[in-house]
Chain A
Amino acid sequence: MAVISIERMGLLSVVCVSLFFSSTFAVDRGNFKTCDQSAFCKRQRALKPGQSPYRALLETLELSDSRLTLQLINDNNKVHLLLELYRLQGNMTRVKINELKPLKPRFEVPDVLIAEPPTEPLSVLSKDDNGVVLSLGAENQRLIVSARPFRLDIMEGPEVLLSLNSRGLLAFEHLRLHKDTQAQADGAEVKESVDGDQQQDEGKKDEDGESEKEEDGLWEETFKSHTDTKPNGPTSISLDFSLPGVEHVYGIPEHADDLKLKTTDGGDPYRLYNLDVFQYELYNPMALYGSIPVMLAHNTQRTMGIFWLNAAETWVDISSNTAGKTVFGKMLDFVQGSSEKPQTDVRWISESGIIDVFIMLGPKPSKVFSQYASLTGTQSFPPLASLGYHQCRWNYNDQEDVKSVDQGFDQHDIPYDFIWLDIEHADGKRYFTWDPHKFPQPKEMLQGLMDKRRKMVSIVDPHIRVDSGYKIHNEITSKDFYVKNKDGKNYEGWCWPGNSGYPDFTKPEMRAWWASMFAYDQYEGSMENLFTWNDMNEPSVFNGPEVTMHKDALHGKWEHRDIHNIYGLYVQMATAEGQIQRSGGVERPFVLTRAFFAGSQRYGAVWTGDNAAEWDHLKISIPMCLSLGLVGVSFCGADVGGFFKNPSTELLVRWYQTGAYQPFFRAHAHLDTTRREPWLFGPENTALIREVIRQRYALLPYWYQLFYQAHKTGMPVMRPLWVDYPKDTATFTIDDEFLIGSDLLVHPVTEEGSRGVTAYLPGAEEVWYDVHTFQKHNGAQNLYIPVTLSSIPVFQRGGSIIPRKDRVRRSSTCMENDPYTLYVALSPKKFAEGELYIDDGHSFNYDTKKEFIHRSLTFANNALTSSNLCPDCNFLTSSWIEKVLILGASKPSKVLLKMDGKETPVDFEFDTSMSVLTLRKPGMNAGADWTLLLQ
């Protein structure tokens, strides 16, 4: 062409992008370790089961009210460990194992538990030379400590629920002195102690000489030119768990894999190590951006959870005695009365720290959620607007661009609440600043959005440009808040701005200072409608080992090795705190994070990172968010459209349809992709996208209420079917459809060119209503649903009441005072119930002043009643009930509204073909007590 010539006049800051964008589209697996390349994992995995050297020293048993302690000895090296057992309130057991006398303290993860978990008394039922039997209180539950070899069994009646060290894979590498720093005489002892944790063949190798051990990576390890000096030597820990009767385990996100965890025999274990994986691959156990070391085990009888509280690099092995058996094989076992009970064995391996395990005994799924929530807290209650649609792109170029995209939404009558600015908005990637040419008047821009009752998110990453002209850098330097390298100097790594420092977010003083930077007078150009996105907080270090921080970097006295997986949590924690503080504690924060850990749910939303515009990535967004929901993180979403590459129009439309029914609903796109605002694909596709975003907005009252519930109880918002149908084995592996709350079932279309989907409608006693046509279908069936490009199969459960706001406006805030329509879907027994939750949508007043409305809606005996679930709450709404749709109803002769002791007739219409009764404008205030009588 050569017609438009563009001459480069200024420096473009794409230098470090260039280093990390390869031309082929796939993760470079070689950049990331396999278990074999991770010395401790290889060492631990080499252990063979059934040879545990650990013995419980029963004579050391001490029992206080709430705590039992007992020493364990490794008979190979005579190192003593201290076992602590706690019975926690709410049917949980905590097992802690540490060295009895470590050379120096080992890291115990702080700030994850919301409080020291309250305990309940333990009592010894019996004791002999072989072990101790303890009572766990209710339900005939006992904890059996066996002495030789050491093992723990949790039993209920005659059934073993769960066993620890039953395969003898407990391994605790104790702290020791390096050969260079110890007397020669100690050598033998060290040798013994090293292989003490290991098998005899390993031990023989050790006798060949010290050099062999060095090769094992005990004191130093090199991966791809990065050397990890290990001043503390080997420190890894491991423990196995057996789950008799369990064939389905879930959780331990984040992995781009199916909902049901697979066995790891013959492959790598699932890895938990927060990493910035460029163009990640699907369906494998590689580590991704976040880690939540929580696994759920489920069968028709019981759901349990294992929470392995450790922030170091962790690997999880899963094996099963039924894996690989066909359904027929299992049936044969059953017919022949095969003695072998299905069992899943799990083994956790971490690089450092201590063993600190919480066993959540359920038994119902909801109970496991509340148990885990009682430990680590619940999902933060997000501002209502953040449940709306988010428009993001790397990058909206300048204020003019932001304005025109904003106007585009109005021109095309598509609602949205947040527009996002990626890294290019800041002046030279100096977060908390604005590019003076592209965003010279940020407040003007924010005011423009505020006038439309909309909001903005700007990115604030934790890598800080090393630049003596940058206030943030200078303050962190002067306060000595940076992470240190092994030599005690400020750790520096390469990231978006070039050479960067990494604030030590593990320091409370650092976090307090960081939070103060969000004050309106500190973050210049910020306003109350500006919120935050924390990206790259694994932390991502472009030139670091595995694109992250060196493990021997120092956070105070702890190594990065110890705290790695919790770094991202702290970043989001400090940022959310900053947003709360800037409003004087009044306003709820909204912070999105890419890296996370157990407890991150308390601080905001997460997304599944840098996915791609491919159908498989659309598909995987479902199990990825379901897995997160199971372990506390409800506010999850994937980049709609896919981050890398350009989606086909069909894929984009399908992704909007899927994303509109997932908790965090944000479209995002890479810098190199073509524009994809919803109106750029022709009027037909604009209409399809508009329609599904509108469906999202109409359902916001339901989403909001579910988040309130998640915040109060820990129940996941987006759930696998088995959570609500725990006895229906057909649901156990389903991850192409899901529930929103208990009442909406969604089966997104995730196949290219699809003409139909088969959705499983659970529940033999249930009926499900198509939310678009109101057609009724029976539960416990696979239903084939023909689809067109406009279809998004969604069903409302018979027996539920869902409040909607059908007057969709340009942002959620504009809909604040709008009336509700109640969708009452009757069960076969002509019953339905639901809830309505209303507050101001953005402040903590619901919590601090009880300013909210929470109502129970019940349809029974031909009467729909609204009753107050919180009589001492006070909140006034101008919203009212404009319409009630009763699905599966029969035609009444008369409808009366009973309110304030008066009865007034209500107009209605009845659609006989679909049995839908519509009550016209009953008109009561949404916060009032009332009854609608059908006669």
Chain B
Amino acid sequence: MTCLHLLLTLVFAVSLGTPVEIQRPRGVPLTKKQFYEEGKPFTCLDGSRTIPFDRVNDDYCDCKDGSDEPGTAACPNGSFHCTNAGYRPMFIPSSRINDGICDCCDTTDEYNSGAKCENTCKELGRKEREVLQKMAEITKEGFLLKQQLIEEAKKGREEKQGKVTDMQENKKQLEEKVEALRTVKEAAEQPEKEAKERHLKAWEEQKAAIRLEKDKAKMAEAFLELDDNSDGFVSVSELQSHAELDPDADGTLTETEVQGLMGGAAQVDTSTFESVWTNIKDKYHSESQPEEPAPVETPPDEVKEPAVDNDSEPYPEDDISEEDDEDEDDKDDYHEDDDKAPPTVKTPEKSHEDEEAMPPYDPDTQALIEAAQKARDDFEDSEKALRVMDDQIRNIEKELSFDFGPDAEFTYMYSQCYELSTSEYIYRLCPFNRALWGREKNRPENNKYLVMKYEHGTGCWQGPNRSTTVKLTCGKETVVTSTSEPSRCEYLMEFTTPAVCQEPANTEPSPHGHEEL
């Protein structure tokens, strides 16, 4: 029989310098000692069966819950308790008993494996106390800082709320002002409009008169030109010499067609020529003038335009990437502005050479226009001021709506960024800029203010969209302490801030096993 004989062992628990001997089976915590009474049948802790006491820790698993083998590796689901005097007691899975690896700092898990373990509990305890002490100091100071942060945040919040209230009051006044100026503007614009219309009408009439006169002159001139024999009549034959007058544009101006143009008369004098002139004046070419150049210029334009269309056709819409789309949108916006701007500027200039420009407004109208313009400017200024104020209010309200923690202790991070440089990258963390408080996966009970999540970031090349989890720990300073990329484009940041420092416990931390005393 080579099986191991592991019955009762003495466990020494050392604490506060006083050795205390407590006899119980190996691997049993003090709290469960009562269930393991030497010499009495042992009932599995799940009550499933009762076995003789010599089957406790006999290196064979009898209980389904593993409770008969607290000190051996026999049960797959058992656990072993190490006292770890000087440090923290703990349970380890019984599969780690005698596996050649030192798990308990008091070496009790490796009693038969040949592993050379050293008792490191004192050292660990000391280190842990140091760490805890340091942590306590940090926590203490951090917590003080946190109080300040809370105070500042509170103050800041009140200030901002006050500011919003003030601004809302101002806004009301501004709104009234806008309305008043709107009335002034409208009042000034009415006479301006009327005066402008008057001016325009007068000019239109003047233009019509001029045009009529010009036409008459042209007619008289044409009559003289047409009346080749200067007999005071324009005859059918005289008119027929002007081929451009051909109504069906077939290249020949027949006699019948000319008669049609002349209203059936064989010849017309200056007085009856007026009706003929109405028929022919659009086509009539003066014999003394060359043809107008205008029609020559048009064709090149017509050629160019389709060419542009052809160029754009080969690109199917889905070829255009998002960025391009955005660019085009931007361009369109510009174009719209461009289209709007020029007409207002150009319209007055846009007149035929032969037509005179509109005469300047008379001084009265000019005065009315100036008055109206001033009213408009005043109104627009006040409206703009109102918009600016609205934005300001919205921004402050947005800030006030953020969840800056239960006591608004995270407020100070708002619109701040924190950087960490590594050999490859600079990481910049800007909290609350589209961040969400998150919870660690599978740990819903966690304080939600210990994790921030940033999701749906920019896409990674051949990878997922970037996302980042930020873990917050208590620290005196607000710094990014480390970053890593556990999966591609999934970043993990460690971030210290006083804002998560908890109020230190009143008593001194005592890490080691009081329960063993």
Least Cβ–Cβ distance between A228 and chain B, in angstroms: 32
Taken residue by residue from 24 to 41, chain B's Cβ proximity to chain A (1 for < 8 Å, 0 otherwise) reads as 000000000000000000
Residue of B nearest to A694 (CB): B76
B356 at the A interface (CB under 8 A): no
- A397 close to chain B: CB less than 8 A: yes
CB contact under 8 A between A9 and B424, given known A1-B434, A1-B457, A671-B488? yes
- A810 and B430 within 8 A (CB): no
- Asked if A3 contacts B434 (CB within 8 A), the reply is yes
A492 interface residue per 8 A CB criterion: no
Docked Cα-Cα span, A23 to B461, in Å, equals 10
Q: Mark A655-675, 1 if CB is under 8 A from B, else 0.
A: 000000000000000011111
Q: Are B73 and A807 in contact (CB under 8 A)?
A: yes
User: Does B224 make an interface contact (CB < 8 A)?
Assistant: no
User: Are A882 and B463 CB-contacts (below 8 A) given A3-B430, A7-B425?
Assistant: no
The yes or no answer to B456 lying at the interface (CB within 8 A) is yes
Assess whether B484 is in contact with A5, with CB atoms less than 8 Å apart.
no
A425 to chain B, nearest CB (A): 15
Question: A683 CA to B493 CA in the complex, in Å?
Answer: 24
**Residue in A4, A12, A813 whose CB lies within 8 Å of B429:** A4
Question: Which positions 419-439 of chain B face chain A at CB distance < 8 Å?
Answer: 421-431, 433-435
Q: Restricting to B93-125, which residues have a CB under 8 Å from any CB of A?
A: 93, 95-96, 99-101, 113
Find out whether the CB atom of B442 lies under 8 angstroms from the CB atom of A682.
yes
Give the distance in Å from the alpha carbon of A675 to the alpha carbon of B442 in the complex: 15
**Neighbouring B residues of A682 by C-beta, 8 Å:** 442
Cβ-neighbour of B95 out of A1, A673, A807, A817 (below 8 A): A807
Given A1-B457, A810-B95, A921 and B60 touching (CB < 8 A)?
A: yes
With A1-B466, A2-B457 given, is the CB distance from A882 to B428 under 8 Å? no
Among B73, B423, B427, B429, point to the contact of A10 (Cβ < 8 A): B423
Residues 802-840 of chain A: 1 if any B CB is under 8 Å from the residue's CB, otherwise 0? 000011111001110111000000000000000000000
Q: Which residues of A contact B491 (CB under 8 A)?
A: 4, 6
**Residues 787 to 814 of chain A near chain B (Cβ within 8 Å):** 806-810, 813-814
Interface string of B80-104 (1 = CB under 8 A from A): 0000000000000101100111000
B487/A6 in contact, CB under 8 A:
no
- Least CB distance, A307 to chain B, in whole angstroms: 42
Contact mask B488-502 → A, CB, 8 Å, 1/0? 101101000000000
Please, which residues of chain B bring their CB within 8 A of the CB of A8? 424-425
* Residue B505 at the chain A interface, CB threshold 8 Å: no
Our pick among B2, B99, B428 for the contact of A4 (Cβ within 8 Å) is B428
Smallest beta-carbon distance B494→chain A, Å: 12
Given the complex, which residues of A lie within 8 Å of B249, measured CB to CB? none
Main secondary structure of the interface of B (DSSP, over half): loop
Whether, in the assembled complex, B209 has its beta carbon less than 8 Å from a beta carbon of chain A, the answer is no
A350 to chain B minimum Cβ distance, whole angstroms, is: 38
Q: A1-B457, A2-B457, A807-B76 are in contact. Are A878 and B2 (CB under 8 A)?
A: yes
A7 / chain B contacts, CB cutoff of 8 Å:
425-426
Asked whether any CB of chain B lies closer than 8 Å to the CB of A453, the reply is yes
B199–chain A nearest beta-carbon distance, Å: 56
B454-494 residues at the A interface, CB under 8 angstroms: 454-458, 461-464, 466, 468, 484-488, 490-491, 493
Task: Tell me which residues from 1 to 53 in chain A have a Cβ below 8 Å from any Cβ of chain B.
Answer: 1-10, 12, 18, 21, 23
A2 / chain B contacts, CB cutoff of 8 Å: 433-434, 457-458
Q: Is B227 an interface residue, CB under 8 A from the partner?
A: no
Is B3 part of the binding interface, using a Cβ–Cβ cutoff of 8 Å? yes
- Report how far A708 CA is from B395 CA in the complex, Å: 74
Q: Quick check: A3 and B435 within 8 Å, CB to CB?
A: yes
Inter-subunit contact A923/B74 (CB<8 Å): no
Contacts of B96 in A (CB 8 A): 809-810
Chain B, interface residues (CB within 8 Å), range: 35 or more
Whether B74 and A807, one on each chain, are in contact in the complex, defined by CB atoms closer than 8 angstroms, is yes
Q: Report whether B458 and A1 are in contact in the complex, using a CB–CB cutoff of 8 Å.
A: yes
- Interface: A401 (CB within 8 A): yes
Which residues of B have CB within 8 Å of A413? 93, 95
Does A401 lie within 8 Å of B466, measured CB to CB? no
Residues on the A chain within 8 Å of B430, using CB: 3-4
CB proximity of B294 to chain A, nearest CB, Å:
56
Of A9, A397, A921, the residue contacting B3 (CB under 8 A) is A921
- Cβ A4 vs Cβ B466 within 8 A: yes
Residue B68 at the chain A interface, CB threshold 8 Å: no
Does B59 make an interface contact (CB < 8 A)?
yes
The reply to whether B490 and A674 contact each other, CB–CB distance below 8 Å, is: yes
- Report if A101 contacts B (CB, 8 A): no
A21 pairs with B426, CB closer than 8 A: no
* A641-B100 Cα distance, complex, nearest whole Å: 32
CB pair A923–B93 under 8 Å, yes or no, is no
- The residues of B that contact A810 with a CB separation of less than 8 Å are 95-96, 99, 101
In the complex the two chains form, is A5's CB within 8 Å of B428's CB?
A: yes
CB atoms of B100 and A453 under 8 A apart: yes
B1 within 8 A of partner (CB): yes
Residue of B99, B101, B428, B487 near A673 (CB, 8 A) is B487
A451 on the B face (CB < 8 A): yes
Residue in chain B with minimal CB distance to A921: B60
Given contacts A4-B468, A397-B485, A809-B99, contact A925 B2 (CB under 8 A): yes
A8 to B423, CA, bound (A): 10
Q: Mark A678-698, 1 if CB is under 8 A from B, else 0.
A: 001011000000000010000
A815 to B101, CA, bound (A): 12
A610 CB → nearest B CB, Å: 15
A451 near B101: Cβ-Cβ < 8 Å = yes
B400-419 CB contact bits vs A (8 Å, 1 = yes)? 00000000000000000000
List residues of chain A with CB within 8 A of the CB of B100.
453, 813-814
- Nearest-CB residue, chain B, relative to A669: B487
By a CB distance below 8 angstroms, the chain B residues around A10 are 423-424
Q: Which of A3, A452, A675, A880 contacts B486 (CB 8 A)?
A: A675
Is the Cβ of B433 less than 8 Å from the Cβ of A3?
A: yes
**Which residues in B have their C-beta under 8 angstroms from that of A452?**
101
Q: How far is the CB of B375 from chain A (nearest CB, A)?
A: 44
Expressed in whole angstroms, the Cα–Cα distance for A591 and B117 within the complex equals: 33
Can you offer 12 A-B residue contacts whose CB atoms are under 8 A? A1-B434, A3-B429, A3-B434, A4-B429, A400-B484, A401-B486, A673-B487, A673-B488, A807-B74, A814-B95, A814-B99, A815-B99
